[in-house]
Structure 1
Amino acid sequence: MNAPAEKDPSKINVVRWAIGLPVGFFAILMLVSKVLFTASPDTEAQWVERETIRQCWKELQRKPDDDKPLHFKGKEDCERLEFDFKTRWNTNP
């Protein structure tokens, strides 16, 4: 009868590299981004303030008859948030 065919070791290594290399690259990329993001607490604070401003404008564009509660009173609140961001960080949100 036929003996079981042995797998070529070079093909196995290619498969391991084809799977391992992208996974390793992705892991390193995630680690570097995490280190850079947490290295500066100001970066996270800026992100939170930008998202608050974005949510403010988004909420004002929503229909007033929605069941969701309003967190911001009007356009003045969004403009005040933008002004505070500009004065604190010296850049536009």
Structure 2
Amino acid sequence: MNSSRTVPVLILFATVALAVSGCQTVKPGESDLKDRAQTTIGKPVIKVSNIRNDFNTTYYTAQTDGGEYKCELPSGPMVALGSMGMGLGAQCTKQ
């Protein structure tokens, strides 16, 4: 491969990788947060609230019939690229 084409090809692959890696992981929606909390907790989640993000983690509260859980979900562009769009699980602890 010609070295003058290497950089544009690498940029193209990086762009495609970011596009395919799953925008939901970059900034997960409320329904995604609810689904991931239900999977972790093992109980139906009534609602999610207090959603806040930093660069690498989304923090939120999941409410079930049995109480509230504080949850953390890895998110952000590096997590999206590293997981290639496959969903990571939330970590939840009962309040």
The TM-score normalised by the length of structure 1 is 0.31
> Greater strand share, 1 or 2?
2
- Is the radius of gyration larger for structure 1 or structure 2? 1
The TM-score normalised by the length of structure 2 is 0.31
> Greater helix share, 1 or 2?
1
